Amino acid sequence: MPTPTELRKGKVINHNGKAYIVTSIDHRTPGRRPSFVQAGLKNLIDGTTLEYKFMNSETVSFLETDTKPMEFSYTDDMGFHMMDPNDFEEVLIPAKMVEDLKLYMVEGQTYNVLFVSGKAVRVELPASVEMLVTEAPEAVRGDTSSSPQKTITLQTGLNVQAPLFIKVGEKVKISTEDGTYQGRA
C-alpha cells in the first residue's frame, strides 16, 4: 500500500470511505517527534474541505482517475457545463467543485476534466490562460518609477496587476498558479 509521502497535489484518494482530491501537501518533521504529512483535502461529492495529518506509518488508498479534454460551454445555477469536442456529449460539474477556478475559465476554451469512477468531478487548469482585457485605466504621464503597475480587469472578472502599456481589448497571459500577469498573448 502507498504511504502518505507519495501524496501529490491533484491526486484522488479514498479517505474514511469518501473520495477526496489533494489540494495542498506539506511534509513536516518536528524535532524529536515522528514526521508526518499535512494534507489539504477537498471532498469530491459535497465540496467540503479539511486538513488532515497523515502519520508516515499510515497507508493511503489512491482512486482510479481519468482525464479527458473538454470544452467549457457555459455556466448557470446548476454548475459548469463542459462538452466533449469529439462526440458533443455534455457533462455538468457542480459549481462548488470549481468555485476556486472559475476566474480562470474562459468559455470556448478546452480544459482537462478529471473523472473519478466515470463521473466528472474537477477541472484541471493549464499553467497559464489567455484572457481579454475588459478594463484598464489609462497610464498617468510621468508615472515611470521602477516597474510601475496598474490594476486591469479581465473578461472573467479577475483583477490583475499589469504594466502600464496594457490596454482594453488586448489578450494577456495569466498564471493560474498565483494569478499574476505573464505577458501579452
List per-residue pLDDT tens for the chain, 185 residues long: 788 888 988 889 999 888 898 989 998 888 888 889 999 998 887 778 899 999 988 899 998 888 899 999 998 888 899 999 999 999 998 888 788 888 999 999 999 998 888 888 888 889 999 999 999 988 776 666 667 888 999 999 999 999 988 999 999 999 998 889 999 98
Say whether both 71 and 109 belong to one domain.
yes
DSSP H helix total and E strand total for the chain:
0, 15
pTM: 0.73
Residue where a domain stops, chosen among 23, 40, 62:
62
CATH number at residue 88: 2.40.50.140
Say whether both 23 and 57 belong to one domain.
yes
Q: What range does the domain containing 101 cover?
A: 65-124
- Residue type (1 letter), 138: E
Nearest to 126 by CA among 106, 140, 141: 106
